[in-house]
């Protein structure tokens, strides 16, 4: 018993025992600081890689840049996403090789974070999308950093994550004068959607008639100013059955756009002024013109009501003016005369940008006897079918006037002899490229018969009225 009592009273080895007991948490705590510090350093390196990938995916000259600049609708830019991921992985590899000596997951190569960057488990996600003319690129990552000292505590890795976001687009809106030029010529009388085209054909083909998707607005104005409708006009059928025509969609979308400018887009009452023109209420023989629907104004209510009333051009009878009723040469020259002075910087109401906002199906069909035709001649009176002549667009651009083009895809009728003989195999493929060349950079959109015209108009407006584009990190 005396031996046991003496043993219990002996304290000579307590320090060693206590040291052994507390050594594990002490080493673990110190190691935790080292491991977390190393993880933080690696995250900093990877954030630099993410910044480079987010910017590189949409920078000028990149595959992504070329892809989204060619887009006519908003959406995901998959080419840019793939390129951004490749950039991230290549930058990651470069970062890991920036030190000296072989890579060891648990050692530093002299750049502070080791790397283990090239070998660590890493998930990378790149998202690139275009919305209202603005392109956003986000590079996100999650990585598992192997620990050294924290393994004593049973933790083999630390999870780090981060994301970088870059944008390409306008930083601010400019003071802008918009001159809306709305094509209301007879070819815009086609039913607005595929479904409406079928319905129009069924209606006009009833009772043995010729099935036609076009609403031909035939009639004449008397000396009293009253319009006398030709009872053979398929326009009567369309109106009696509430068939939506492409010209109706253009008018409604233009009015809706102007309302949206007032309620959602404009930041000051004087930021935007709008004027509106059509190709004429009725066809002339001979000659072409534009009609002013609304003078340049900040009063969006009056401008909206005016554009709502744009209607399909009337013609006295079939083959009036040889059915050659659309002259872009005249309309672009005339709108140029309506615009006083050159386009400004947009920095103030006194120095506004000036933009022609041109909505058309892109088919010029005019009489040009003795002139040149870039498409096909038809008949003996000098009727010329051709795409737009970009020299008339350039005349406006030379005055620092931008041109925004909303192309409503030209839809030919089944069995249309003019299309089959003079357009289809001659220059049909040039209609859209010519309009794109006419438009200022990034200001060309195409909408098909089943696309959302109003949404397309808003997108093009936002793109056209934006300030100078820039590439920048936002997060």
d(CA 63, CA 59): 9
Q: Which of 46-50, 247-251, 452-456 holds the top average pLDDT?
A: 247-251
Averaged pLDDT, 40-59: 88
Looking up tokens 């030209």, which residue turns up? 410
- Of 219, 178, 202, residue with least CA distance to 317: 219
The residue that leads in pLDDT, 14 or 314, is 314
List, as own/partner pairs, every contact residues 368-371 make where C-beta atoms lie below 8 angstroms and the sequence separation is at least 24, other chains included: none
Which of 171, 354, 352 shows the shortest CA–CA distance to 270? 352
Domains of the chain: 12-170 (no CATH), 176-473 (3.40.50.410)
- The pLDDT assigned to 309 comes to 87
* 5-19, 170-184, 352-366, 406-420: least confidently modelled range: 5-19
Q: Is 458 a residue whose pLDDT tops 80?
A: yes
Q: pLDDT-based confidence at 264, cuts 50/70/90?
A: low
- Whether the pLDDT of residue 181 is over 70: the answer is yes
Contacts for 122 with CB less than 8 Å, ≥ 6 apart: 92, 141, 142, 143, 144
Compare 40 and 335 and report the one with higher pLDDT: 335
- In terms of residues, how long is the chain? 475
Q: pTM for the full model?
A: 0.66
Look at residue 127 in the predicted model and tell me its pLDDT. Answer: 94
pLDDT digits (tens, 9 = 90+) for 359-412: 999 999 999 998 999 999 999 999 999 999 999 999 999 999 999 999 999 888
The C-alpha atoms of residue 116 and residue 148 are separated, in whole angstroms, by 13
Please tell me the predicted confidence (pLDDT) of residue 172: 55
Q: How far apart are CA 163 and CA 126, in angstroms?
A: 9
Provide the pLDDT for residue 462: 77
The structure tokens 């595929």 sit at 194
| Per-residue pLDDT band at 429 (split at 50, 70, 90) | very high
Q: How much is the average pLDDT of 127-144?
A: 87
Contact 266, 257 (CB under 8 A): no
Per residue in 300-336, pLDDT tens? Answer: 999 999 998 899 999 999 889 999 999 999 999 999 9
Higher pLDDT, 109 or 454: 454
Rounded mean pLDDT of the chain? 83
What percent of the chain has pLDDT above 90? 46
pLDDT of residue 277: 97
Map 247-293 to HEC letters. HHHHHHHHHHHHHHHHHHHCCCCCCEEEEEEECCCECCCCCCCCEEE
Interval 347-352 mean pLDDT: 87
Q: What share of the chain is helix, strand, coil (3-state, %, to 5)?
A: 40, 25, 35
Where does 115-253 show beta strands of DSSP type E?
A: 122-131, 134-146, 157-170, 176-182, 219-221, 227-229
Q: Which two tokens stand for residue 101?
A: 């000596």
Q: Is residue 213 helix, strand or coil?
A: coil
Q: 72 falls in which pLDDT band (50, 70, 90)?
A: low
* CB-based contact 404:359 (threshold 8 Å): no
106 — pLDDT class (breaks 50, 70, 90): very low
Using DSSP's 3-state secondary structure scheme, residue 182 falls into: strand
Q: How many CA atoms lie less than 13 Å away from 327 in the CB half-sphere?
A: 22
Distance CA 253, CA 374 (A): 32
């Amino acid at each position: 018993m005396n031996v046991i009592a003496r043993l219990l009273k002996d304290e000579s080895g307590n320090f060693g025992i206590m040291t052994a007991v507390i050594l594990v948490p002490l080493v673990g705590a110190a190691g935790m600081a080292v491991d977390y510090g190393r993880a933080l350093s690696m995250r900093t390196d990877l954030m630099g890689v993410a910044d480079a990938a987010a910017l590189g995916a949409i920078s000028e000259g990149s595959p992504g840049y070329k892809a989204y600049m060619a887009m006519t609708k908003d959406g995901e830019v998959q080419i840019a996403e793939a390129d951004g991921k490749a950039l991230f992985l290549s930058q990651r590899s470069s970062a890991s090789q920036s030190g000296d000596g072989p890579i060891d997951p648990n050692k530093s190569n002299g750049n502070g974070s080791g790397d283990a960057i090239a070998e660590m488990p890493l998930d990378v996600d790149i998202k690139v999308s275009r919305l209202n003319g603005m392109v956003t690129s986000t590079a996100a990552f999650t990585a598992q950093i192997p620990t050294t000292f924290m393994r004593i505590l049973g933790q083999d890795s630390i999870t780090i994550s981060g994301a970088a976001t870059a944008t390409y687009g306008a930083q601010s809106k400019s003071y802008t004068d918009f001159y809306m030029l709305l094509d209301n010529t007879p070819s815009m009388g086609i039913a607005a959607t595929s479904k409406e085209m079928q319905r129009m054909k069924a209606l006009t083909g009833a009772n043995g008639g010729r099935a036609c998707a076009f609403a031909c607005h035939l009639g004449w104005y008397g000396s009293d100013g009253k319009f006398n409708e030709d009872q053979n006009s398929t326009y009567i059928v369309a109106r009696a059955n509430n068939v939506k025509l492409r010209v109706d969609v253009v008018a409604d979308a233009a009015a809706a756009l102007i309302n949206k400018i007032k309620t959602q887009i404009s930041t000051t009452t004087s930021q935007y002024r709008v004027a509106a023109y059509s190709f004429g209420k009725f066809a002339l023989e001979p000659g072409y013109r534009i009609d002013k629907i609304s003078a340049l104004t900040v009063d969006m209510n009056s401008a909206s009501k005016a554009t709502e009333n744009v209607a399909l051009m009337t013609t006295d009878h079939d083959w009036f003016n040889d059915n050659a009723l659309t002259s872009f040469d005249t309309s672009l020259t005339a709108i140029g005369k309506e615009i006083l002075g050159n386009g400004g910087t947009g920095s103030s109401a006194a120095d506004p940008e000036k933009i022609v906002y041109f909505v058309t199906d892109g088919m010029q069909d005019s009489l040009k006897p003795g002139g040149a035709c870039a498409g096909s001649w038809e008949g003996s009176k000098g009727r010329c079918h051709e795409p737009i002549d970009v020299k008339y667009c350039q005349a406006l651009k030379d005055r620092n006037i931008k041109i925004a083009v909303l192309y409503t895809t030209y839809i030919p009728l089944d069995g249309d002899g003019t299309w089959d003989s003079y357009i289809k195999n001659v220059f049909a493929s040039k209609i859209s490229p010519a309009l794109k060349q006419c438009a200022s950079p990034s200001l060309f959109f195409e909408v098909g018969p089943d696309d959302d015209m109003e949404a397309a108009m808003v997108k093009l407006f936002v793109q056209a009225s934006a300030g100078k584009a820039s590439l920048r990190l936002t997060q």
